[in-house]
A and B are shown apart, each in its own frame.
Chain A
Amino acid sequence: MTETSAPVLRPAAARARRRVPAPPRWLRKASGPVLLLALWQLASAAGVLAPDVLPSPWAMAGTFGDLIGDGSLGEAMVSSLRRVALGLAIGGALGLLLALAAGLSRLGEDLVDAPMQMLRTLPWAGMIPLFIIWFGIDEQPKIALVAFAVAFPLYLNVYAGIRNVDTTLVEAARTLGLGRPAMVRHVILPGAAAGTLVGLRYALGSAWLALVFAEQVNAQSGIGYLITHAREVYRTDIVVVALVVYAFLGLGADVLVRLLERTLLSWRPAFSGT
């Protein structure tokens, strides 16, 4: 005798637990860093952290205020940003042009790609002595270093972006009667846009790093100069403030690229940078 038992029905999902209203997400996320700062401040106040090792957050806020007040931070940021901007413009233009030449023509590829692949293996930070010999110790070697660091990531990503454009789309465009210039404009360049922006992001990252390296060398101005000078007079607080400023400038650049992505790549289905 087989006894078929009636099925027991249960709710498909466990009922959500009734919870006390949770604090908003941003508040919970912010509480980690705030807690860290509080501990740091406490350790400094208790004397565990000596001020010449790491000054308290409060003291550094004061230093930050002073540096802004006497204009030295603003001045330093202007010279540093100028170096990055110039280096980015020169290196970016170079990387972009070479990538277009290599990506859009076989001749360009044969001429440009091999040397670029060889040069990119050179560690740019190691180029400083060479740049000093070539360009002296003024602004030029610093801008050159930034330009050098920027050109390669941009070149590689734009070139790859052009070469990875969906061939089925290129084919479709050919059946639509697009000639070479129209193909480049309507299919290849838009198709390479995502890669270009990735390259720009890497390039900006390298640019800041190159700036930090370059400004260690006999800088008479800029954030790096601020750090070198502060080290000589044992002002740990200024060193740390300058480092934080570097970090925020890098972050700002990243936000800028993301903004660009959001406007330029809004057509992308996989776009998730909300």
Chain B
Amino acid sequence: MATGLQRHLTTAPPAVGPDARTAAPPAARVRGLVRRFGERAVIDHLDLELAHGEFVALLGASGCGKSTLLRVLAGLDPEVEGEAEVAERRAVAFQAPRLMPWKRVWRNVVLGLPGRADRAVADRALAEVGLGHRADAWPKDLSGGEAQRVSLARALVRRPDLLLLDEPFGALDALTRLKAQHLVIDLWRLHRPAVLFVTHDVDEALLLADRALLMADGGIADEVRVGLPRPREVTDPEFGRLRSRLLGGLGVAVPGAADAGPPAP
């Protein structure tokens, strides 16, 4: 039954200009993907393509299958039908940091890299997330935000072409979360991986992503291109319009949404 072919696309080195980006092969291509749990198809003939270097947010109510999709793309779920091709170099940051508690921070960062554990590589990656001074700490001594940043550093040190983020800031307090969002954008600009960012926070999706996908009934129900220049402001009227549309799609009635007009394609 598990006919999922998880082939690896070979992706070109990080492109810089928009022209080069469109020329590069996609970071992920999914066609007719089906994932059943018993009778229920949580993912039902889903199609998805992530362009090279593109930042895509995946929105959806809890239980809609967005985390399942991310697990498929991460290569953690072979029980699928259909086609899912993903960049060979990919990395994941989960909602929980999932650091090995018995390894010091820097060793966690370089775990799984080929060759001997290289302290200098770890230090550079930690410096990027502002944690150069915590390299020798145990994971238990980190705050929630710090641990999540280590998890990001661990993902980025692999120089991924595809970065999968599964509600990475879901457990953080509002203030820490805001800082983490800025950090993610900075790191994305620096490394230019394609990003699939799973979240249920519409504002977060619109602040970060080039494209926001709405997942419902096992497929992509709606797609919004966020053309706003970064850094974005929630007070921007266009932001508000997109927000109402996505919230509507998530089944949340927004007061004054009628004024925003019908969803534009």
Residues of A whose CB lies within 8 Å of any CB of B are: 168-169, 171-178, 182, 186-187, 190-191, 193, 266-269
- The prevalent SS among residues of B at the interface is loop
Q: Which of A173, A175, A190 is close to B102, meaning CB atoms less than 8 Å apart?
A: A190
Residue B96 at the chain A interface, CB threshold 8 Å: yes
A190 touches B100 (CB 8 A): yes
A269 touches B140 (CB 8 A): yes
Complex A-B: 19 CB contacts under 8 Å = A168-B96, A172-B92, A172-B94, A173-B112, A174-B76, A175-B90, A175-B91, A175-B92, A177-B112, A177-B158, A178-B111, A182-B112, A186-B100, A186-B111, A187-B100, A190-B103, A266-B138, A268-B101, A269-B140
Q: Which B residues are in CB contact (< 8 Å) with A182?
A: 112
Since A267-B138, A269-B140 are in contact, a sample of 18 more A-B pairs with Cβ atoms closer than 8 Å, ordered by chain A residue number, is A168-B94, A168-B96, A168-B98, A171-B76, A173-B100, A173-B111, A173-B112, A175-B74, A176-B91, A176-B111, A176-B112, A176-B158, A186-B100, A190-B100, A190-B103, A266-B138, A268-B101, A268-B140
B100 touches A169 (CB 8 A): yes
- The prevalent SS among residues of A at the interface is helix
Interface size class on chain B is 20 to 34
Given contacts A267-B102, A268-B101, A269-B101, whether A175 and B96 have CB atoms under 8 Å apart is: no
Residue B149 at the chain A interface, CB threshold 8 Å: no
Bound Cα distance A6, B96 (Å): 49
- The chain A residue sitting closest to B91, CB to CB, is A175
Residue B243 at the chain A interface, CB threshold 8 Å: no
Chain B nearest CB from A244 CB (Å) reads 39
Bound Cα distance A40, B92 (Å): 68
Q: Which B residues are in CB contact (< 8 Å) with A266?
A: 138
Q: Which A residues are in CB contact (< 8 Å) with B154?
A: 176
Q: Which A residues are in CB contact (< 8 Å) with B75?
A: 174-175
Chain A nearest CB from B195 CB (Å) reads 15
Of listed B75, B90, B102, residue having the most chain A CB within 10 A: B102
Bound Cα distance A182, B114 (Å): 11
Q: Which A residues are in CB contact (< 8 Å) with B96?
A: 168
Bound Cα distance A190, B101 (Å): 9
Bound Cα distance A266, B111 (Å): 20
Bound Cα distance A176, B158 (Å): 8
Q: Which B residues are in CB contact (< 8 Å) with A190?
A: 100, 102-103
Chain B nearest CB from A134 CB (Å) reads 42
Bound Cα distance A186, B100 (Å): 8
Q: Which B residues are in CB contact (< 8 Å) with A177?
A: 112, 158
Chain B nearest CB from A1 CB (Å) reads 43
B98 touches A172 (CB 8 A): yes
Chain B nearest CB from A245 CB (Å) reads 37
Q: Which A residues are in CB contact (< 8 Å) with B158?
A: 176-177
